[in-house]
Amino acid sequence: MITDDGMLVPDNEMHLQFRSVSENEAFARVAVAAFVSQLDPTMEELTELKTAVSEAVTNAIIHGYENTYGEVRVSCAIWNGVVEIEIEDDGKGIEDVELARQPLWTSRPELERSGMGITIMESFVDELMIESAPGRGTRIRMRKTIASSTKPIGQA
């Protein structure tokens, strides 16, 4: 959508902010699913997005704020049937993003986690971007086209 002053704005958007505790992973997953439901996604599309969000939020909590507390931010926007989800933290960041993208790699080998979080996210969305800097946090941006959505929000 383009405003009168020529600004490109999403059809709809939402923003969440919560403490980096594991109980909030389910909250983020359900909130994103509820927001995306306006596009009438298939159960498969919804499950894939929920899983990708779970992985991103869990990574922020476990790896970003390793044994400390901080803030996790989740933003969602809809652009003509495309969902864009950002999960952001101000935690310790990722030293080597390309290494972190490798299946089974983990910065916390002592945990029961298998190091598949980023691989899982990549398999469930159309596009995954990771921006991170040591000591400054991480931003994960995911995009997924909802196949059943053929028209922008608010149009009959």
> Where in the sequence numbering do the catalytic residues fall?
55, 59, 113
Sorted by sequence, the CB contacts under 8 Å of residue 33 that are 6+ apart come out as 46, 49, 50
CA dihedral 119, 145, 88, 71 (to 10 degrees): -110
Question: What Cα–Cα distance (Å) separates residue 142 from each residue in 2, 112, 134, 154?
Answer: 23, 25, 21, 23
Through-space distance between the first and last CA atoms of the chain, rounded to whole angstroms: 15
Taking CA 138 as the corner, what is the angle to CA 10 and CA 38, rounded to the nearest 5 degrees?
Answer: 30
CA distance 24 to 69: 12
Rounded Cα distance, 89 and 54, in Å: 14
